[in-house]
């Protein structure tokens, strides 16, 4: 039985390598995915605004968390799309289904974020 030579890393070496892989993934997504790039810049504005809009640390955390969730889901969707494209660029119903499901996940995360922010803004300005 073959073992993965990369799975034997432990301790600080593992943490440093994992951090490097994560940074490479963020760089790849930023350079290659226009939707992710747009969401990052919107997140910069919204995360700063969360500290002004939220009255408690919990409110700030929910506002910031909803923004971060959009970025996380977008990264996962990009990973799905990349894996599908790696297999084949040909149209296939299962490939379409996988990409549509990833897109739906992004859409739902955007709806959640919009709802959280809309409610926070309503609460802030309606009183």
Instruction: List, by residue number, the catalytic residues.
Output: 74
CA distance 80 to 102: 7
Greatest distance between any 2 Cα atoms in the chain: 66
Q: Both tokens of residue 7?
A: 């799975």
CA distance 61 to 68: 10
Q: If you search the block for the tokens 């997140």, which residue do you land on?
A: 43
93: which residues sit within 8 A by CB, 6+ positions away?
A: none
């Amino acid at each position: 039985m073959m073992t993965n030579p990369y799975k034997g890393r432990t301790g600080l070496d593992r943490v440093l390598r994992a951090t490097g892989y994560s940074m490479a993934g963020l760089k790849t997504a930023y350079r290659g995915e226009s939707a992710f790039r747009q969401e990052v810049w919107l997140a910069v504005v919204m995360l700063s605004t969360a500290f002004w809009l939220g009255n408690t640390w919990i409110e700030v955390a929910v506002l910031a968390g909803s923004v971060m969730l959009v970025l996380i889901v977008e990264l996962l969707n990009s990973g799905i799309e990349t894996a599908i494209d790696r297999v084949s660029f040909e149209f296939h119903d299962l490939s379409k289904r996988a990409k549509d499901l990833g897109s739906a996940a992004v859409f739902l995360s955007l709806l959640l974020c919009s709802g959280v922010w809309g409610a926070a803004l309503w609460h802030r300005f309606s009183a």
